[in-house]
């Protein structure tokens, strides 16, 4: 399941688009948002969750977006996520938020 998951998502997305071959190819590419989201998976995965760090695969994209912005803007208390969140623009946060559930 794991190893084919990403592929299947990509394929499903391609089929759902039912567009031109060019569109299908574009969807099949690794994107910047996807690669940035992969970076976060170092801590934010199922094993980290057992020790108290949220597994982002289980959190809706909208919540990830709002919480990253809250960490960045000082609206949410943090030990380390404020320091991370300050490295991302609104566009970058939005670009990666949707990918976590796909890994």
Q: Which residues bind another protein (CB under 8 A)?
A: 2-4, 6-7, 10-11, 14, 21-22, 24-25, 28-32, 35-36, 38-48, 50-53, 79-80, 83-88, 92, 103
Nearest distance, CB of residue 21 and another protein, angstroms? 5
d(CA 84, CA 68): 9
> Using an 8 Å Cβ cutoff, are 71 and 61 in contact?
no
Nearest distance, CB of residue 39 and another protein, angstroms? 5
Nearest distance, CB of residue 61 and another protein, angstroms? 18
88 closest CA partner among 39, 50, 15: 39
């Amino acid at each position: 399941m794991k190893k084919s998951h990403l592929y299947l998502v990509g394929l499903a997305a391609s089929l759902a688009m039912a567009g031109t071959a060019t569109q299908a190819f574009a969807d099949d590419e690794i994107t910047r948002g996807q690669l940035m989201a992969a970076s976060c998976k170092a801590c934010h995965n199922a094993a980290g969750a057992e020790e108290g760090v949220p597994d982002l695969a289980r959190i809706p994209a909208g919540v990830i977006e709002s919480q990253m912005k809250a960490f960045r803007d000082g609206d949410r208390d943090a030990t380390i996520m404020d320091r991370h969140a300050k490295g991302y623009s609104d566009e970058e946060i939005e670009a990666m938020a949707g990918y976590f559930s796909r890994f």
